[in-house]
Amino acid sequence: MVSNTSVSVVMATYNGSKYIREQIISILPQLESNDELLISDDGSSDDTIEIINEIVTYDKPKCEVRIVNGPQNGVIKNFERLIKLASKQVVVFSDQDDIWDEKKIILIKNAFQKNSKLKVLVHDFETIDYKSNIIVNNSIPRFRVGRVKNFFKNTFIGANMAARTDFLNSKVLPFPENIPMHDSWIGILAKNNETEFISDKLTRYRRHDLNLTGSRRSLKSKILDRLIILKEVAKKSWR
């Protein structure tokens, strides 16, 4: 199925030189001339940007690749800046250290083209370690449909998500100051019939020492996160 849907792949980077090459190389061949890759770098002190520019120079991708300076105010605000810059129909979120399956973009495009009511799409993934070995037994929860279920245990993981740009701009932004993460906020605002799950494992989602912080949060912190989200959702409903 040939899709007319265009996508903005948005990637927030910060000192990602160790894995960024693999990720960029897995993304660019999937993007067409009507797509774009937007990268917001939050002040990297390594050669992250040099690696990206080198790949773009030699691979000459079909799509526009745009690199901007991030707000240097955390990953959530970095993704907010990227969403505001996105000019295509669908935003596809990307981490800087994963590897994408070669069918990821076309399956995402087809899903949004087929279902005009679809606002947020989530796909399955497999977890890899810092050496790209598959982790069979991992603690990351699999996706569950339902706003209530995801309020109590979030299964919206940004690296495995895409969303319509107009939905993000009209219903999601700006991100509240105190939310734990942007992906759980996006997921909780989408109605059940506006969310779809693809069972294909379209991302090799990397877990390593630099990105394990969230999994080590205390029960008290996780409860406080849920209360913050509940408060912010209520504030939106009252407006």
Q: For residue 81, give Cα distances in angstroms to 76, 109, 115.
A: 9, 23, 27
State yes or no: cis peptide before 174, omega within 30 of 0.
yes
pTM to 2 decimal places: 0.91
What's the CA gap between 9 and 48, in Å, rounded? 17
Whether the CA torsion 71, 218, 98, 10 is positive or negative: it is negative
User: Are 161 and 186 in contact, with CB atoms under 8 Å apart?
Assistant: yes
pLDDT tens digits in sequence order for the chain, 239 residues long: 567 899 999 999 999 999 999 999 999 999 999 999 999 999 999 999 999 999 999 999 999 999 999 998 889 999 999 999 999 999 999 999 999 999 999 999 999 999 999 999 999 999 999 898 998 766 556 676 666 777 677 788 899 999 999 999 999 999 998 888 899 899 889 888 899 999 899 999 998 766 544 455 677 777 787 788 878 887 776 55
Helices 48-59/20-27 angle, 10° precision: 30
* Burial (CB count <10 Å: 0-12, 13-18, 19+), residue 164: buried
What's the CA gap between 109 and 91, in Å, rounded? 10
Helices 182-189/75-85 angle, 10° precision: 60
Give the angle subtended at the CA of 204 by the CAs of 203 and 210, to the nearest 5°: 115
How far apart are the two ends of the chain, measured CA to CA in Å? 41
Q: Which residues of 68-77 are buried (b: 16+ CB within 10 A; e: fewer)?
A: eebeeeebbb
